[in-house]
A and B are shown apart, each in its own frame.
Chain A
Amino acid sequence: MEIDRALEWLQSTRIATAVAENDILFPWIESVHVLAIVLVVGTILIVDLRLLGVASLDISARRLMRDIIPYTWSAFAVAAITGSLMFSSDAVHYAHNRLFQIKLVMLVLAGLNMAVFHLFGERDIERWDAPGETTPMAAKAAATISLLAWIAVVSLGRGTGFTMH
């Protein structure tokens, strides 16, 4: 298959073989990956809990997002880079691992959910943004989907680790 040939090329690159063959490179990359994911999930949770109306209600939702989301994106960039490095070390196997495939779908779902919320859910944010206001159903739905998607990403990531060998 075309894709498999591309994946085989990827895992034969010098950087991929280095990750695959070096005894301590993979654990280090994986540790950074976990640290990054922990921060992605933890900071997104702060925003989700605000949108659900559970926590940080004394602060404007827009301000909270503006202050927190840069940390989320920075951590996500680190997670994506370290994740790609691990993927490259055994690309064909990862690509055919069912849990890993679902994990990618969940990441896309989390991304789409966020895009839809920024495009549509935030349209009337001025009406409910003030501290103490109740957040609307759309915001709560987006926060719930986000929470579930990220919990799924973490469990599928762990599941991938357990089914690769």
Chain B
Amino acid sequence: MTLNQICHWIDQTALSQSIQIAGWVVPSVQTIHILAIAVVASSALMIDLRLIGVFWANRPLEAVKARFLPLVWWPLLVLLATGTIMIIAEPARSLKNPAFQIKMLLLIGALSVTWLLQFLHRRNAAFGDVSGPRAAAATLAVVSILLWSSIIFAGRWIAYFA
């Protein structure tokens, strides 16, 4: 089955049709999507700023992680659910959209970096501390900030590639 056929098939389902008829669904789901992104991106930013050393530098990374890391991972379920609804509503406009495809690649990148940061900190408790590998931690943090910002940009650009 080609991507075109998949898009056509989703588009013809009763669910997709009813979302398309109810005009309020897409803006409402987008609002929830943006609110969940606000939680994820801000939580990731706090961890990243801590790793760069400009935020809560005197608090242990463990405490900053404990507060913010779950809020990077768990709202992803909300993003997945709302994102899926948007795809069902407008399959061709999303799946065939270069901005959407780039966004998914960037997402894989951001999640990999988040996982890598966790992994490095678990392997070396000094990771992110003044005594630890500061440059590596700060570099990954900057990459993380750039990836999450790009994801938000790519998300908005989906509307303009359609």
Contacts and interface: CB of A to CB of B under 8 A. Distances in A.
B38 A38 contact: yes
Interface stretch (B13-21, B106-114, B126-134, B148-156): B148-156
A34 B156 contact: yes
Interface string A44-88: 011000000001101100000001000100000000000000000
Contacts of A159: 27
B31 interface: yes
Contacts of A37: 34, 38
A31 interface: yes
A31 B152 contact: yes
B97 interface: no
A13 interface: no
Nearest to B39: A42
Nearest to A42: B42
Interface size class of B (residues with CB under 8 A): 20 to 34
Interface string B22-52: 0100111011001101110111011000000
| B interface: dominant SS | helix
A37 B38 CA distance: 8
A39 B38 contact: yes
Nearest to A56: B67
Contacts, number: 68
A151 B39 CA distance: 12
B56 A67 contact: yes
Interface in B128-162: 149, 152-153, 155-157, 159-160
Contacts of A35: 149, 152-153
Give chain A's interface residue range (CB within 8 Å of chain B).
20 to 34
B30 A45 contact: no
Contacts of A34: 34, 152, 155-156
B63 interface: yes
B8 to A, nearest CB: 25
A160 B56 CA distance: 37
Given A39-B42, A155-B28, A31 B35 contact: no
A30 B36 CA distance: 18
B55 interface: yes
A56 B42 CA distance: 14
B31 A155 contact: yes
A27 B35 contact: no
A114 interface: no
Contacts of B26: 162
A43 B159 CA distance: 26
Give the 5 A-B CB pairs with smallest separation, nearest first: A42-B42, A42-B38, A41-B38, A155-B31, A31-B156
Given A34-B155, A35-B149, A42-B41, 15 more contacts: A27-B157, A31-B153, A37-B38, A38-B152, A39-B41, A41-B42, A42-B39, A42-B42, A42-B45, A43-B42, A45-B39, A67-B55, A155-B27, A158-B31, A162-B23
6 contacts: A27-B159, A37-B34, A37-B38, A46-B46, A56-B67, A162-B27
